[in-house]
Amino acid sequence: MNPLKRLFGRDDKFYDLLEASANEAQNSAKILSALMPKLGDERAVHEALELLAQSRRKHKRITQDITNSLCRTFVTPLEREDIEALSNALSRVPKTMEKIGERLLICPLNAHAANMVKHVAMLEQAAATVNVMVKALRTNPHVEEIEDEYAQLQTLEGDADRFMIALLRELFHGQADAKDALFLKDMYELLEKAIDRCRDAGNVVFQVVLKYS
């Protein structure tokens, strides 16, 4: 690319990178979701962990590319702080997914697997919704064009939070052994944190759209 164009040009590279970041966040959720029916298979868990690690490393490279591009580009399609905020929010999603995968290798879920499957499904849906919102940025949408996705994301986060509280209530009022209770509490909170990370990224997108509307 011509040096002056690289300095002053407003190209699509930031949209490309942000979309790649959102895609990788969703990919991590898909890996986790695909793992759930195979939790009894230690080899499958190890394979999923490697895929999650690869996804996280790829996401880290994308985040670094965004930072490098911000340093080399004078004019950007969105304000620099908005690009940085969205990049940082998205980068936290695969990292949390990997932590969830690592915990799943430690202890079998046994009778609690069905609850975990439902929680992971909500996480996958949240990551997919964020991906749709990030891709919409390229078209410079009006607020009304992403309101449905934003509302869906907020609803998912609220539903997930209530679901976690119900699971914790059941856990501490049930017959779970102390070690299982400690492990499951950690898992439920990590899953809720991952969904919160998705919500945070969606909030950044919505604020950016409000700013440019």
> Residue 52: what pLDDT?
94
pTM for this predicted structure = 0.89
How confident is the model at residue 179, as a pLDDT?
79
CATH number of 3-212: 1.20.58.220
pLDDT at 1: 41
Q: Where are the domains of the chain?
A: 3-212
pLDDT of residue 171: 81
Q: Which of 120, 129, 104 is nearest to 192 (CA)?
A: 120
Q: What is the pLDDT of residue 51?
A: 94
Q: What is the pLDDT along the chain (213 residues), one digit of tens a residue?
A: 434 344 444 568 999 999 999 999 999 999 999 988 887 788 888 899 999 999 999 999 999 999 999 998 888 999 999 999 999 999 999 999 999 988 887 766 666 778 888 999 999 999 999 999 999 999 988 899 899 999 999 999 999 999 999 988 888 887 777 777 888 888 889 999 999 999 999 999 999 999 987
- Alpha helices per DSSP H over the chain: 3-8, 13-35, 42-72, 80-106, 113-136, 143-173, 178-212
Reduced to 3 states (helix: H, G, I; strand: E, B; else coil), residue 137 is helix
Mean pLDDT estimate for the chain? 88
List the Cα angle 143/209/76 in 5-degree steps.
150
User: Phi then psi for 191, rounded to 5 degrees?
Assistant: -65, -40
**pLDDT the model gives residue 108:** 64
Task: List pLDDT tens digits, range 89-132.
Answer: 999 999 999 999 888 877 666 667 788 889 999 999 999 999 99
The pLDDT value given to residue 4 = 37
- What's the token pair of residue 143? 């607020």
